[in-house]
Amino acid sequence: MLNPTEPILGFNTVRHYAMNTFSTLAIIWLPLIPIAIFFISHKYYQFTSPPPKGCRKLGLPHHKTNLHDEYDPKYSQGVPEKHTDPEDQPSWRIKALFAYPIKSCAGIELDTADVVPTGFTYDRQFCFAEYTTPKTSNNNRSEQAHWTARTLRDGSLCRMALIRPEIWVPDPTADDYSRELQEVRSQGVLVIHYPRVADGMLSLPVKLGMKLGLLSKELSFRVPFSPPQDGSSETTYPSTPVKIWKDTPLAHDYGCHLPPSLRRFLDPDRVRGPLTLFRVNPSHHREIFRNAPRKEHLGFQPVTGFADAYPIHLLSIASVQDIASKCKADIPELSIRRFRANIIVQGPGAYEEDHWKRVRIGNSGSGSGSGGVEVYTACRTIRCKLPNVDPDTGVRHPVEPDRSLKRWRRIDRGDLTNAALGMQVVPAVREFRVCVGDGIEVLETGEHCYIKMLKPGEKVEGV
């Protein structure tokens, strides 16, 4: 007859043995984890590298922003244009400035921005592109594989919002500055940060290393802002056609700089074609027609780099607050940064910018000269689902604010299918400077009608 205590004693014996085994393994392996982390960080990943020589970082520090009070309800109420506030500033003025060096990636906030023919100097000068091979069919036999610009519109690439570029510009006052530095000869350096991905067999020590602060949560690499002018650029950065909308400009392929870990971050499921980074080729800018003023009027034909259609995007904070009030149940705080504008203005009431035709910027004398600079608000900005992506998390909301925009802002008779919010701007001069606090003065108002595509010499009836 069996002793009824034997099964219990057997269980306790097994448990005791297991605990001893686990303790033994822990004693053996725990000391090795820091060694594994050290090995991984040196062999497979890079530590934070020193700042580029002879340069300074452009833009506001991370802890500072001119949008710190963007949700304040005071901005929802328009104020008179010809008015000064208690601090003797114009009531209609620039609230914030942003440049987006890499299309669809994080922006850089500025206090001052230099404007060149393509827009802000450092805006949309780079883009990620995917090598796509068309499916074989009777209708597209002549179409060949090509590079296509990718953006946050592509639902599987929302992580692009978390790629954080930094612009480092040559600084003659820096202690280590020299004209012979590669960083200076390339007109600066773009340092690109992105979240570290822990996957595969080494995921556990990598995650532990980040948790303990032994590994940084971001990786980075750097590229020259402009290809070197020493004759080697076409070899290192070949000019390659890249399709953006209906244009196919030549651009410099910067793929030689992309680390494998960036690909793992952007495409963790390995479902996309090859990805690379392109730099605008200054010899192959895209000329703008559509609603833009013509060369015979300006003295030059407006151009852009990798922006969708126009050099500068302007947006009123009151307009965004009105849209935010309509989708508050889904998104309690709808940041204006979702709309990726270059110039954010305060003062006008919601949607007052819809009818602006010509505007003077800088009449406050704070940066552009006391006379200011004239710009044309060429057309309204036609919206897609891109603002559904939260710039802080890279997560796409399933419906908002796109649903509210389409319900309330399908107001442009040139495209009643899509919503409109903000204005596309074309400068009347090639180069100037804008600053936060610069005044906004409306010189001319009128009707707008968005034109989807217009070739040189082509006209649209009724516009």
pLDDT in tens, 107-118: 999 999 999 999
pLDDT of 45 over the 90 cut: no
CA nearest to 436, candidates 64, 124, 55: 64
Alpha carbon dihedral 198, 199, 203, 209, in 10-degree steps, equals -10
Q: Which of 380, 302, 362, 288 is nearest to 114 (CA)?
A: 362
CA 45, chain centre distance (Å): 25
| DSSP letter, residue 46 | -
Element (H, E) at 128: strand 126-132
Kindly report, residue by residue over 180-205, the tens digit of the pLDDT: 999 999 999 999 999 998 766 667 77
**Are the C-beta atoms of 302 and 285 separated by less than 8 Å?**
no
Q: Summarize pLDDT for 6-41 with one digit per residue, the tens.
A: 444 454 554 555 455 555 545 555 555 555 555 554
The token pair that represents 336 in the structure block: 């204006």
pLDDT (average), residues 87-112: 95
Tell me the per-residue pLDDT of 174-186, one tens digit each, with 9 for 90 and over: 999 999 999 999 9
DSSP secondary structure of 342-355 = SEEEESSPTTGGGG
- Show the tokens assigned to 391: 């710039």
Instruction: Please name the residue ranges forming H helices in 259-408.
Output: 260-266, 295-298, 317-326, 402-408
189 domain-assigned: yes
pLDDT of residue 140: 55
CA 267 to chain centre: 18
Q: How many domains does the chain have?
A: 1
DSSP code at position 56? E
User: Does residue 408 sit within a domain?
Assistant: yes
Q: Rounded distance, CA 222 to CA 3, Å?
A: 73
Query: Where is 420: in which H helix or E strand?
Result: strand 420-427
Here the tokens at position 337 are 């940064």
Ordered DSSP codes for 67-120: TTTTT-GGGGS---SS-B-TTS-BSSEEEEEEE-SBTTS--EEESEEEEETTEE
* Distance (Å) of CA 178 to CA 139, 171, 181, 229, 389: 56, 9, 6, 17, 42
Q: Which domain holds residue 118?
A: 55-133+145-445
Asked whether residue 303 carries a pLDDT value surpassing 70, the answer given is yes
Residue 347 CB contacts under 8 Å (≥ 6 apart), including other chains? 78, 79, 81, 90, 91, 92, 93, 440
What are the φ and ψ backbone dihedral angles of 397, each rounded to 5 degrees? -75, 140
Tell me, yes or no, whether 306 lies in a domain.
Answer: yes
**Cβ count within 10 A of residue 33:** 15
Per-residue pLDDT at 210: 76
Q: Is the pLDDT of residue 358 over 90?
A: yes
Whether 12 is covered by a domain: the verdict is: no
On whether residue 138 sits in a domain, the answer given is no
346's tokens? 């305060």
Is residue 20 domain-resident? no
Residue 239 maps to a domain: yes
Cα–Cα nearest to 437, from 365, 332, 336 = 365
The pLDDT assigned to 1 comes to 45
> Which of 440, 407, 436 is closest to 421 using CA atoms?
407
Q: Is the pLDDT of residue 421 over 90?
A: yes
Residue 46 has pLDDT above 70, yes or no: no
Let me know if residue 463 belongs to a domain. Answer: no
The CA–CA distances, whole Å, from 113 to 107, 120, 121, 344, 455 equal 13, 6, 7, 13, 31
